[in-house]
């Protein structure tokens, strides 16, 4: 029996753990300078990956963190709230794409970093180089 491929582009085919990657991370800074929407684009996957994102202020202190466990879709966004009492202008984001099963260590697939300017409301897109 011949296999039928419903996807036109091979890049749209779901990938195994070793081939799953972050393609883009986008930030949208709200005008209040206290919230940021984070959008993720991941390669299509066979097994659901998890993501961890930590945002640090200029002093290196964690201002926000989020863990997304077993994402079900390769494109999604979430809003993070900075917990700094005195927000700084420039923040750094550390994003980790990983797999984890109960009672097992994390299998880190990819790590990315980004600089985020909270003084500039609007969209800030980060392209990830997967060469």
In a domain, 90, yes or no: yes
pLDDT digits (tens, 9 = 90+) for 91-107: 999 999 999 988 888 99
Of the pLDDT bands very low, low, confident and very high (cuts 50, 70, 90), residue 131 is very low
Q: Look at residues 81, 118, 116 and name the one whose alpha carbon lies nearest to residue 95.
A: 116
**Overall domain count for the chain:** 1
In a domain, 8, yes or no: no
In a domain, 7, yes or no: no
| Cα 43 to Cα 13: distance, rounded to the nearest angstrom | 9
pLDDT digits (tens, 9 = 90+) for 20-30: 999 999 999 99
**34, burial (CB in 10 Å: exposed 0-12, middle 13-18, buried 19+):** middle
| The model's pTM | 0.85
- Res 7 pLDDT > 70: no
- Res 3 pLDDT > 70: no
Query: What CATH number is associated with residue 45?
Result: 2.60.40.150
Name the more confident of 130 and 47: 47
In a domain, 1, yes or no: no
In a domain, 4, yes or no: no
pLDDT at 8: 62
In a domain, 60, yes or no: yes
In a domain, 66, yes or no: yes
| Cα 27 to Cα 119: distance, rounded to the nearest angstrom | 13
In a domain, 2, yes or no: no
Q: Look at residues 31, 38, 83, 39 and name the one whose alpha carbon lies nearest to residue 57.
A: 83
**70-96: average pLDDT:** 94
Q: How far is CA 44 from CA 15, 18, 23, in A?
A: 6, 12, 10
Q: How far is CA 47 from CA 39, 69, 71, 112, 124, in A?
A: 20, 12, 9, 20, 29
| Domain ranges, residue 41 | 16-127
C-alpha triplet 53, 57, 63: angle, nearest 5°: 55
């Amino acid at each position: 029996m011949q296999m039928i491929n419903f996807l036109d582009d091979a890049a749209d085919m779901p990938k195994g753990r070793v081939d799953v990657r972050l393609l883009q991370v986008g930030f949208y800074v709200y005008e209040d300078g206290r919230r940021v929407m984070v959008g993720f684009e991941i390669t299509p996957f066979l097994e659901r990956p998890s993501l961890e994102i930590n945002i640090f202020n200029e002093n290196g202190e964690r201002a926000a963190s989020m863990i997304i466990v077993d994402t079900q879709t390769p494109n999604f966004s979430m809003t993070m709230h900075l917990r700094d009492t005195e927000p700084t202008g420039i923040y750094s984001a550390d994003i980790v794409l990983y797999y984890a099963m109960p009672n097992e260590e994390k299998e880190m697939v990819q790590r990315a970093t980004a600089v985020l300017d909270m003084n500039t409301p609007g969209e800030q897109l980060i392209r990830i180089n997967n060469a």
